[in-house]
Amino acid sequence: MFQGLGAGEAARLDVKDVDLEGGLLPVPGSRIREGRTLELSGVQVLGLHRYLLESRGAILRDTGKETQRLFVSAGSGAKLNNALSVLMRELRGRHPWFRNVRQIRSSRIALWLKEHDIREVQYLAGHRYVSSTERYQAADLDALHRSLSRHHPLG
């Protein structure tokens, strides 16, 4: 969530990828995204450390799975997408405005655009082309236009 990872990117991470001491997460590239190294916040380092020490081992023991993937599902399926689907249903039940993982990624990219220049956001998002990042700026401008027309005294 903090890193704007896509579901596929999260599913491809291996335990060896995580550098808790350096607070870094190398994200391997794919057919559609560039690889990058992201900085982890203190909260993320502590959460991942706890997950690696306690939760992940318990999940592997309980399910009998053997994998080097960082994130594993607690169910019988091998794919993380199945576990994410269950999580998404739960989140939609609690928060009706919530749609999917892509919405979280889009929100993170929009926030980055407010904090960093477009080339840095392109890197953080793993976009191959800056035009992919620019689309998130346009979406933000559309929201501003809608808000302006709704609240403008002459509108």
Q: Tell me if residue 79 falls in helix, strand or coil.
A: coil
Instruction: Please tell me which residue, 34 or 152, carries the higher pLDDT value.
Output: 34
Q: Is residue 155's pLDDT more than 60?
A: no
Return the higher-pLDDT residue of 91 and 20.
Answer: 20
Is the predicted pLDDT of residue 39 greater than 70, yes or no? yes
The structure's pTM equals 0.72
Instruction: Return the half-sphere exposure (C-beta side, CA atoms, 13 A cut-off) of residue 120.
Output: 10
pLDDT tens per residue, range 118-129: 999 999 999 999
CA atoms within 13 Å, Cβ hemisphere of 142? 7
CB 59 within 8 A of CB 51: no
Task: Give the tens place of pLDDT for each residue, 81-136.
Answer: 777 777 788 888 998 888 887 888 888 998 899 899 999 999 999 999 999 999 88
Helix (H) / strand (E) element for 38: namely strand 36-39
Q: What percent of the chain has pLDDT over 70?
A: 95
Q: What are phi and psi of 27, to 5 degrees?
A: -105, 115
Q: Which stretches of the chain are assigned E, i.e. beta strand?
A: 24-27, 36-39
Would the CA dihedral through 34, 39, 44, 50 be positive or negative? positive
Give residue 140's pLDDT. Answer: 62
